[in-house]
Amino acid sequence: MTTSEAIRKNFGVVEAEEMVLNMGPQHPSTHGVLRLKIRTDGEIISHIEPHIGYLHRCFEKHCENLTYPQVIPYTDRCDYLASMNNNHIYVLAVEKLMGLEVPERVEYIRVIMAELQRIASHLMAVGAHGLDTGGITPITYTFRDRERILDLFEYTCGARLLYNYIWIGGVSHDLPPDFVQYATEFLDYFEPKIVEYNRLLTYNKIFIERSADVGVLPADVAVNYGASGPVLRGSGIDWDLRRNDPYSIYDRFEFDIPIGTGEMGTVGDSWDRYFVRVREMEESVKILRQALARLPKDGDVHAAIPKKVRPPEGAIYFRGENPRGELGFYIISDGSPKPYRLKMRSPAFVNLSVFSEIATGWMLADIISILGSLDIVLGEIDR
């Protein structure tokens, strides 16, 4: 569909002189330092060009000069809203390259942390999407609950945002006493709160008007662009690496994969992407309850940590499901303590590439809302 066709389809025939507008890098709603070069025809956007790189920190080049354990804090800083997941997937990649087995307890602790982090990240996404459509209150509610998760992390490893918690062969600290009790208390507190978000935002008439049928991402386009995570699932494709390509111990848990159903509009609209996240939080709660119940009581979390991390020569691509989609690490090892080459496949980067496809032809206010529904993190896009 060409631009003018899209405009006609959405808003009828209106054409006027066009204005070029720079949205960002300093703009309240571009989720960091994204710059959108947009051509506007009145309120309607006829062309979008995302410019990235304002947060480029040479992550991949840095990694070539760092030992394998030293890379972990850098993965924290890539997707700073999902640091635990990033640690987890990177560490699993290196462990697979080394052929390392970790104790049962470590696996459970890692999954617990990863799922808590997934909830925290989705809370941020849900709140920020509300903020993008103009509702200021939802984000304060989600932040209130995210705070409790961060408190749990702080209790465990001392850090609230960038943890460096999951290490190659183990985790940095064992779970503190009563962690299981506190985590269960949090889950009991949190589950009714999802209902509260739904009342406040999800089923709000104005929010539905703003997000249903807006920014529809058809399933074939999503697949062609390589979108993943809630963006892909919002388009109705049942694909989650935790189930379709199980890693760690995810095959031991029972959980559903929520997909977009077009409940309020079309399959693959902003509302679907949003609601997939809300429901994924419920699924994460399920996984957490199972993991907390089955967590082995004792076991050394440092048992498998190698004295020197020196993977054998070879290459590996390892992927896992982070809150934003498929996070992959391609690591080439030359047998030295430092990776020869490390490539990170970041989900938000790929998901952003679909943005100009689905947002063209919508209004200025819509592209903010669509951007919010893609849930990008610039730290990960620019690396």
Partner 1 sequence: MSSFIDTIVDFLVRLLGIPQGAAGFMLILVAVVLGVVVFLFTAVNALVAVYMERKVSAFMQDRLGPMEVGFWGFRGGKRFWGGIAQTLADTFKLLLKEDIIPDKSDRKLFILGPFILYGAVFCAFIGIPLGYGMAISDFNIGIFYVIAISSVGVIGIILSGWGSNNKWSLYGAVRSAAQIISYELPVGMSLLLVVMVVGSLQFHDIVAWQEQHRWFLFHSPFTIVAFVIFFLSGVAEANRTPFDIPEAESELVAGYMTEYSGFRWAIFFLSEYANMAVISLMTAIVFLGGWLSPVGGLLRLFGVPEGWYYLDGSLWGVFWISAKAILFIFIMMWFRWTWPRLRVDQLMYTAWKVFLPIALLNIFFVGIWELIFA
Looking at the Cβ atoms of 93 and 367, the one nearer to partner 1 is: 367
Is 150 near partner 1 (CB under 8 A)? Answer: no
Q: 332 forms bridges with which residues in the sheet?
A: 315, 341
- Quote the tokens at residue 232: 């892909």
Q: Which x/- pattern, by CB under 8 A, does the window 3-22 give for partner 1? A: --------x-------x-x-
**Dihedral over Cα of 142, 143, 147, 150: its sign:** positive
What is the nearest approach in angstroms of partner 1 to the Cβ of residue 181? 24
Is 363 near partner 1 (CB under 8 A)? Answer: yes
User: Measured between alpha carbons, how far is 374 from 354 in angstroms, rounded to an integer?
Assistant: 9
Residue 319 burial (CB count, 10 A): 20
DSSP 79-146: STTSHHHHHHHHHHHHHHHHT----HHHHHHHHHHHHHHHHHHHHHHHHHHHHHTT--HHHHHHHHHH
What is the nearest approach in angstroms of partner 1 to the Cβ of residue 133? 4
What is the nearest approach in angstroms of partner 1 to the Cβ of residue 219? 26
Residue 161 near residue 138, CB atoms below 8 Å: no
Looking at the Cβ atoms of 180 and 365, the one nearer to partner 1 is: 365
Q: Is 183 exposed, middle or buried (0-12, 13-18, 19+ CB in 10 A)?
A: buried
Is 364 near partner 1 (CB under 8 A)? Answer: yes
Q: 């300093």: which residue's tokens?
A: 26
3-class DSSP state of 309: coil
What residue type is 360 in one-letter code?
A: T
Applying the rule CB under 8 A, the residues between 16 and 55 that interact with partner 1 are: 19, 21, 27-29, 43
Judged by CB under 8 A, how many residues of this single chain contact partner 1? Answer: 30
Is 68 near partner 1 (CB under 8 A)? Answer: no
Residue 271 near residue 215, CB atoms below 8 Å: no
What is the nearest approach in angstroms of partner 1 to the Cβ of residue 12? 10
Looking at the Cβ atoms of 137 and 181, the one nearer to partner 1 is: 137
Looking at the Cβ atoms of 10 and 353, the one nearer to partner 1 is: 10
Phi, psi of 332 (to 5 degrees): -105, 125
Q: Figure out which of the listed residues 4, 57, 137, 238 binds partner 1, where binding follows CB under 8 A.
A: 137
Compute the residue count for the chain.
Answer: 383
Looking at the Cβ atoms of 21 and 58, the one nearer to partner 1 is: 21
Is 58 near partner 1 (CB under 8 A)? Answer: no
What residue type is 125 in one-letter code?
A: A
| Options 140-148, 170-178, 225-233, 322-330: segment touching partner 1 (CB under 8 A) | 140-148
Looking at the Cβ atoms of 28 and 177, the one nearer to partner 1 is: 28
Q: Figure out which of the listed residues 25, 73, 135, 226 binds partner 1, where binding follows CB under 8 A.
A: 135
Q: 């809370």: which residue's tokens?
A: 123
Q: Which x/- pattern, by CB under 8 A, does the window 193-222 give for partner 1? A: -------xx--x-xx-xx------------
Residue 302 burial (CB count, 10 A): 14
Peptide bond before residue 25 is cis, with ω within 30 degrees of 0: yes
Q: Footprint of partner 1 on this chain (CB under 8 A)?
A: 11, 19, 21, 27-29, 43, 130-137, 140-141, 144, 200-201, 204, 206-207, 209-210, 363-366, 368
